Structure 1
């Protein structure tokens, strides 16, 4: 085949191939998805979900609930409010008697919360009274009687406290159920206040007896001599 014809055929084939390629529709590539971005968005949403219903938020609400419970206990039984601590045994006994009357009256008026407050308060005073009795001028026998009756009062007021804090009506006792033993024990404590005062009076009397009589000084000596001379002269007459 002549070269001219061969070249012409090759030219036609090449041209046909170019036309075919140029006219072919572009291949449809699947849309690309930014997997990293989607993942981040998902993680972010998940984080928001955790934020709305996180454990920390729940714990905070629970802590607030516990705090309220603490406030309730503090208001109802404010033990630290016992600021007026008795300084002497006699003062402590007076306070015990006053609280006993308050408990009795509040039970009679059906004011059980007020009675409960007084019961807890008297417990604090009873914790002090034995120590104060040890500092007082009591005989060993009187001190032992104080300790014994303080235990009686602890037991009796404890029964009242059990009744106030129990749903079981058979548990503990109301004031009437222990009134006799409470009032009898307080009378014993009061009698030791008188014994303390008596001991102090005797001590003062002994101190006065032990002090020597004062010796006259200066002009007092001269006056004493003149009085002695006058008495002597009168006796001679």
Structure 2
């Protein structure tokens, strides 16, 4: 009995002594399993991460698409700005410059005289705003007239004289325009007679140069026309005899 008891005691001693070792081994085993599982979790995380990034990239691409749409809207806004050009054209008409310019030098001088009379009447009636608009229209008329003179088939000296006359008219109306945009007292005391004589004289010079230009182009004067009319009457004696025949009857 004593030997058995001694053997049992020896086994018990070994078990109690090995318990801590078993505990440590168990902890190591559990830790190792966790480490084996964690790489799988990390791999799962790594697999999910790119997908998340891809999603974010898609969102970014979607934002870029919306940005492109916004730029497209901006382009449409620019088109709208182009339509505003029509508004500018409207403003151009409001200032009295939307009228058609004369087709010939003769028509331009005729219109110049007409507008000059309108300016004179407007200032006489105290309508300075109307006079100012008319003065601006004359500025455009003079510019067009100078272009017509430059392209006319006449001698250069005639062109130079006609251009100088038109520039005198332009300068006179420029001084008139300065007064119209000056002080209130100057506007109230403004009279067309302060500028009228210079404008009228230059306009008459233009008309005489126009007559000279016509003669240069056609090669005939007023005196040359009379013999031609006489020749035409001699070539048609029947027409010239009709009045005498009627008187005889």
TM-score by length of 1: 0.50
- 1:187 paired with 2:174, answer no
Instruction: Judge conservation of contact 2:101–2:144 (CA < 8 Å) in 1.
Output: no
Aligned to 1:75: 90
CA shift, 1:202, in A, is: 0.6
Instruction: Judge conservation of contact 1:123–1:154 (CA < 8 Å) in 2.
Output: yes
Q: 1:38 aligns with which of 25, 50, 55?
A: 55
Instruction: Judge conservation of contact 2:169–2:202 (CA < 8 Å) in 1.
Output: yes
Aligned positions, number? 183
Q: 1:85 aligns with which of 99, 103, 107?
A: 103
TM-score by length of 2: 0.49
In 2: Cα distance, 1:113 partner to 1:72 partner: 22
Partner SS for 1:65? helix
Instruction: Judge conservation of contact 2:109–2:207 (CA < 8 Å) in 1.
Output: yes
In 2: Cα distance, 1:67 partner to 1:116 partner: 30
Unaligned 5+ segments in structure 1 are 1-19, 217-237
- 1:115 paired with 2:148, answer no
Instruction: Judge conservation of contact 1:99–1:122 (CA < 8 Å) in 2.
Output: no
CA shift, 1:83, in A, is: 5.4
Alignment RMSD: 5.0
**Structure 1 segment 1-237 matched on structure 2, within 5 A:** 27=37, 29=41, 32-33=48-49, 34-51=51-68, 53-54=70-71, 57-62=73-78, 64-65=80-81, 67-68=83-84, 70-77=85-92, 82=100, 84-86=102-104, 89-106=105-122, 108-109=126-127, 110-111=129-130, 114-115=133-134, 118-127=137-146, 130=149, 145-159=161-175, 169=182, 176=192, 178-190=195-207, 200-207=221-228
CA shift, 1:148, in A, is: 2.9
Q: Deviations over 1:158-206 (max 9, x none)?
A: 4556778xxx748xx9884644322332233345567789973211124
Instruction: Judge conservation of contact 1:77–1:117 (CA < 8 Å) in 2.
Output: no
In 2: Cα distance, 1:49 partner to 1:119 partner: 53
Instruction: Judge conservation of contact 2:132–2:177 (CA < 8 Å) in 1.
Output: no
How has the CA–CA distance of structure 1 residues 141 and 62 changed in structure 2, closer, same or farther, with 3 Å as cutoff?
closer
In 2: Cα distance, 1:209 partner to 1:140 partner: 34
How has the CA–CA distance of structure 1 residues 99 and 133 changed in structure 2, closer, same or farther, with 3 Å as cutoff?
farther
